[in-house]
Amino acid sequence: MPPDSDIAANPVIDAVRIDDLRALLGDALDDILRTWLEDAPAGLAAARRAGQAGEPDALIKAIHGVKGSAGNVGAIELSEVSGVLERRLKRADPALDLDAELTRLDTCYTRAACHIRTLIRS
């Protein structure tokens, strides 16, 4: 797992994406962000369960879902890290430390959630 400084060098939230969503959705964005905060941990948990059960297809599906939902709300770091993991899983990278990568995703989610909570206006 790369050191946290590697992750910290990348943006956590895509501010332009958030601004675009706010312009399009107005206050409805707050509900979307709240829903994401509630739902995203379930996707991460599903990935961990699939990994522990040795179910590669379910694992890839869960990681793909995390990637997409994170991208939808501008959680760019989580989306990008999920995308890298998804590609590594698809090519069955023998050097992959799945537990470390899932822990890294949890850390990315925590960082994104902290930022997103500050963006909710109402």
Those residues whose C-beta lies under 8 Å from the C-beta of residue 59, and which sit 6 or more positions away, are: 47, 50, 51, 89
Domain spans of the chain, in order of start: 11-119
Neighbour tally for 72: CB within 10 Å: 13
pLDDT score at 122: 77
Instruction: Please determine, for residue 1, whether its predicted confidence score (pLDDT) is greater than 90.
Output: no
The class level of CATH for 11-119 reads mainly alpha
Kindly state the percentage of the chain with pLDDT values over 90. 89
**Is pLDDT of 56 > 50?**
yes
Query: Where does the pLDDT of residue 9 fall: very low under 50, low under 70, confident under 90, or very high at 90 and above?
Result: low
**Residue 10 pLDDT exceeds 70:** no
Q: Assess whether pLDDT exceeds 80 at residue 57.
A: yes
